[in-house]
Amino acid sequence: MNKKEDEFMKILVTGGAGFIGSHTCVELLNSEYDVVVVDNLSNSSEVSLDRVKEITGKDLKFYKADLLDCDTLDKIFLKEHIETVIHFAGLKSVNESVDKPLEYYNNNITGTINLCACMKKYGVKNIIFSSSATVYGEPAVLPITEQCPKGTPTNPYGMTKWMIEEILKDIQLSDNSWNVIILRYFNPIGAHESGLIGEDPKGIPNNLLPYITQVAIGKRDYLNIYGNDYDTPDGTCIRDYIHVVDLARGHVMAINKLKENCGFKIYNLGTGKGYSVMEVLHTFEKVCGRKLPYKIAGRRKGDVMASYADASLAKKELGWEAIYDLEKMCQDAWNWQKKNPSGYQ
């Protein structure tokens, strides 16, 4: 392997014990990268990393550490000779962010600033950041391209994504030897097909799929559908659901792009297809083999009517596209939920 390629082989994955992070660790290890995970386990379990090792038959290094703890972060960078960072670590509950804005701004933004300061100190200048379609706010066009202007997120969580994108843009602008890739995820769902890793929300799930799986397993009585009076074919909101393994693969493809010294880039990661809440419920019912109870509730504050990606730029420039359909996403989510009725506990 030549030096150029070798420069990218050791990957620091912040938030690597979490839902998307653990699936990305699998894809990285399968692609022969060395993986170092930093996670404070505030919303995850170390068991996920044991499962990553079980799936891949490979080892990774784990530090239980907080991005707010600069001294520890410094020691990790000193020891590990990191070449590239994939930055997942952050708090992600929309509802909670409205109640705890300071905690969200501090954790997500200060955490990112600490990380970037450490990267700068140790000359690590390649980063992939987990952003979200939430930065588009109420989208100006559908499907949403990366050219679509950023909107106004309706909550502090979304604002942290919005602001971190700007911070990373300014860092790259100040020193063009940095390579920054912003990945704007649409709605990640599903699980690894082994059923060993998956989404393990704490408390009552905010998101649609984990709520549906908990109704199916008998943990919740019924699904609340937030509004059926939108201007969509069946009146319920439309989203672009994407299999978490497809998303994870997107990160490996993004590392290849960093290797081209790509500068600052933004890519949507979605399937390009929108499904309504009702369609998701019916697809899940098909997979689990029975009808699931639901009630129509009022609209949820801050929801946009429809959001789905134009993912053609990622296809053109990263050579990436989603391969799994909604049924496969539901199958894998259900398999994970059945095998782990209480998550990683």
Q: Which does 277 bind (CB under 5 to 8 A by kind): ligand WQD, ligand NAD, none?
A: ligand WQD
In angstroms, give the least distance from the CB of 187 to ligand WQD.
5
* Window of 115-123, 166-174, 224-232, 330-338 that interacts with ligand WQD by CB under 6 A: 224-232
Strand partners, 184: 131, 268
Our finding on whether 239 is near ligand WQD (CB under 6 A) is yes
Spatial neighbors of 151 by CB under 8 A, at least 6 apart, are 135, 136, 137, 138, 139, 140
Q: Does position 244 bind ligand WQD by CB under 6 A? A: no
Give backbone dihedrals phi and psi of 35, rounded to 5 degrees, phi first.
-120, 130
CB 104 to ligand NAD: min, Å: 10
Residue pair 60/25 in contact (Cβ under 8 Å)? The answer is yes
> Considering CB under 6 A, how many residues would be counted as binding ligand WQD?
19
Q: Which does 190 bind (CB under 5 to 8 A by kind): ligand NAD, ligand WQD, none?
A: none
Task: Name which of ligand NAD, ligand WQD, none residue 90 binds, using a CB cut-off of 5 to 8 Å depending on partner kind.
Answer: ligand NAD
Contacts of 27 (CB under 8 A, 6+ apart): 245, 248, 249, 251, 252
Distance CA 6, CA 8 (A): 5
The verdict on whether 185 is a catalytic residue reads no
Q: Report in angstroms how near the CB of residue 284 gets to ligand WQD at its nearest.
A: 12
Q: Which of 55, 159, 180, 208 binds ligand WQD (CB under 6 A)?
A: 208
Shortest-Cβ-distance residue relative to ligand WQD: 237
Query: Which residue, 41 or 262, is less far from ligand NAD as judged by CB?
Result: 41
Instruction: Find the binding residues for ligand WQD in span 70-99 (CB under 6 A).
Output: 92, 94
Please select the residue that binds ligand WQD; options are 22, 187, 268, 331, rule is CB under 6 A.
Answer: 187
Beta-carbon contacts of 103 under 8 Å, excluding residues fewer than 6 positions away, are: 91
Distance in angstroms (rounded) separating the CA atoms of residues 98 and 104: 9
Q: Which of the following is catalytic: 63, 104, 136, 157?
A: 157
Strand 238-239 and strand 275-276: the pairing is antiparallel
CB contact set of 62 (below 8 Å; sequence gap of 6+): 16, 17, 36, 37, 39, 46, 49
Q: Residue 196 CB, nearest distance to ligand NAD (Å)?
A: 15
Within 111-150, the residues that bind ligand WQD by CB under 6 A are 132, 134
Pairing outcome for strands 238-239 and 306-307: parallel
Q: Which does 56 bind (CB under 5 to 8 A by kind): ligand WQD, ligand NAD, none?
A: none
Strand partners, 180: 127, 264
By rule CB under 6 A, what string of x and - marks binding of each residue 297-316 to ligand WQD? ---x--x-------------
- In this structure, which amino acid lies at residue 210? P
Which one of ligand NAD, ligand WQD, none is in contact with 198 (Cβ closer than 5 to 8 A by kind)?
none
Which stretches within 232-292 are classed as H helix?
244-258, 277-288
Residues that bind ligand NAD (CB under 6 A): 15, 17-21, 38-44, 66-68, 88-92, 107, 111, 130, 132, 185, 188
Residues identified as active-site: 157
| Interacting residues toward ligand WQD by CB under 6 A | 92, 94, 132, 134, 158, 187, 206-208, 211, 223-226, 237, 239, 277, 300, 303
